[in-house]
Amino acid sequence: MNSIKSIYFLLILLISSSIFSQKGSTIIEPDYIKSIVFRPSRANAYFPIVKLGEPIRLSFDDINANENIYSYKIEHCDYNWNISNLASTEYTSGFAEDRIRDFENSFNTLQAYTHYQLQIPNENIRIKISGNYLISVLDEGDNIIFTRRFIVYQPKVTVGVTVHRSTDIVSISEKHSVQFIISNPNLRLNNPHENIKVALYQNGDWNSVIKNIKPKYIQGSQLLYNYVDEISYWAGNEFLYFDSKDIRNATNNITRVRLDDIFHTFLYTDEARGNNPYSFSPDINGNFVLRTINTDDIELEGDYSFVHFFLKYDANFENDDIYVYGNFNDWKINDENKMVYNSQTNYYEKTLLLKQGFYNYTYATANKNSKINTHAIEGSYYQTENDYNVIVYYRKFGEFYDQVIGIGTGNSQELQN
């Protein structure tokens, strides 16, 4: 009888685990939510990863401009971005769900909007432990409007990252390989092959993640991931850009501006660069910065324009679609940024409603399985400057969540070979 009860209890636990370990899937914002910025408060930081206790800031615009009431919810996730089994009181102090109280209407803009902003931690919430997190923004009916991922780390190990030119003769001119060392002199690791996990990202692009890599060697208090070419990325090309800070005039890479009900910004036609020699162009690795020269308050006085993209490209991708790609929409591919071929102009075209600012973008393809290719059109060159982030996770024996115990960053500007 006792054995039957034990089996029954185990089944209940398994069912409960499957119910509560739901995938922390990202939800794409509706078309009336614009200019979502979610990044650390420190300058020149774009990837949403912060040290435990440091602030991270979320802001967005609602172009319905109705002063709608929004709330937010924070959930802890595991290494694979599944919602953890932890209770909210285990990873936050205060309220894991609360209203967004800081909002205000735009001023003196052709496109009206309500601007919302939130900083974490704040007087109502503080995050207590490291790990992967998901923040959801909800409407008054508790429907999730959009989500964003972020990472909180607590430095317990150091991570040294180096970027190398690929040694594979087939891809020597097109790929970067990444090597790194995790040093843990003050942290006892009984079984690092099982307790330690890593995740790598190129330029903070969530779609670029490489996971489930084991250390090649263990030397004392160091874990060495010094594979030759096993951890590699297509280097891609430098990002394209435009700057609409002066929304009334044609400036960097903008051929003309037209004013209808709101502004229209027409970019110069881009030609695919995949067959051209590499040409250096400074960029911010796919990110964007909202800014304007007409006012000091971009949040409330920055205006919007319809930005028109044109791509001249003759290749036939069959079932692949082409997208305007970058951090301006959290590296997502969807109908909003999918280009359409215009048989009259022979260009791929797309129009996006974007707030004034400096934007990086590139052209990516995706097949019917949503597999993204960022080099099919723009090419891949080992000289390209990229950032590489290594995130280190640790789960102690007997614990129920994955800590983030260290991060490391490398850049390909100075290749190590």
Identify the CATH assignment for 25-153 out of 3.40.50.300, 1.20.1600.10, 2.60.40.10, 3.40.190.10. Answer: 2.60.40.10
Residue 317 has a pLDDT of 62
Can you spell out the DSSP letters for 138-207?
E-TT--EEEEEEEEEE--SSEEEEEEEE---TTTTTTEEEEEEEEE-TTS--S-HHHHEEEEEEETT-GG
Question: Residue 352, SS3?
Answer: strand
Task: Establish how many alpha carbons lie within 13 A of residue 412's alpha carbon, considering only the half-sphere containing its beta carbon.
Answer: 27
10 Å Cβ neighbour count for 301? 16
For range 361-365, the mean pLDDT: 97
Task: For residue 53, give the nearest of 120, 124, 136 by alpha carbon.
Answer: 120
Within the chain, which residue ranges are assigned CATH 2.60.40.10? 25-153
> Using an 8 Å Cβ cutoff, are 23 and 81 in contact?
yes
Residue 228 has a pLDDT of 87
Residue 314 has a pLDDT of 79
Question: Residue 234, SS3?
Answer: strand
For range 236-254, the mean pLDDT: 94
CA 272 – CA 373 distance, rounded (Å): 14
Fold of 158-235+383-411: Immunoglobulin-like (2.60.40)
Residue 4 pLDDT exceeds 80: no
Alpha helices, H only, 270-356: 298-301
| Residue ranges of E strands in 213-320 | 217-219, 222-225, 232-234, 240-243, 254-259, 263-267, 270-271, 288-290, 304-312
- Where does residue 15 rank: exposed (0-12), middle (13-18), buried (19+ CB within 10 A)? exposed
Look up tokens 């307790």; give the residue: 195
Band of pLDDT at residue 25, cut at 50, 70 and 90: low
Residue 263 pLDDT exceeds 90: yes
Distances (CA, A) of 89 to 15, 71, 231, 407: 23, 18, 38, 26
Assigned CATH for 240-373: 2.60.40
% of residues, the chain, pLDDT over 70: 93
Phi, psi of 304, deg, nearest 5: -110, 155
Residue 279 has a pLDDT of 94
Residue 188 pLDDT exceeds 90: no
Look up tokens 């129009």; give the residue: 351
Band of pLDDT at residue 318, cut at 50, 70 and 90: low
> Using an 8 Å Cβ cutoff, are 257 and 250 in contact?
yes
For range 364-381, the mean pLDDT: 94
Task: Establish how many alpha carbons lie within 13 A of residue 303's alpha carbon, considering only the half-sphere containing its beta carbon.
Answer: 21
Size of the chain, expressed as the number of residues it contains: 417
Residue 5 pLDDT exceeds 50: no
Residue 329 is given by DSSP the state G
CA 144 – CA 111 distance, rounded (Å): 25
Residue 17 pLDDT exceeds 50: no
> Using an 8 Å Cβ cutoff, are 42 and 63 in contact?
no
Q: Tens of pLDDT along 42-63?
A: 988 999 999 999 999 999 999 9
Residue 240 has a pLDDT of 98
| DSSP-assigned beta bridge partners for residue 319 | none
- Choice among 198-212, 302-316, 347-361 with the minimum mean pLDDT: 302-316
For range 240-266, the mean pLDDT: 95
Residue 13 has a pLDDT of 37
Residue 16 pLDDT exceeds 60: no
What tokens does 395 get?
A: 């789960």
Residue 274 has a pLDDT of 92
Residue 19 pLDDT exceeds 90: no
Residue 8 has a pLDDT of 40
Residue 77 pLDDT exceeds 60: yes
Residue 96 pLDDT exceeds 70: yes
CA 44 – CA 67 distance, rounded (Å): 30
Q: What is the mean pLDDT of the chain?
A: 92
Q: Tens of pLDDT along 149-161?
A: 999 999 999 999 9
% of residues, the chain, pLDDT over 90: 82
pTM, 2 dp: 0.92
Residue 12 has a pLDDT of 38
CA 201 – CA 331 distance, rounded (Å): 12
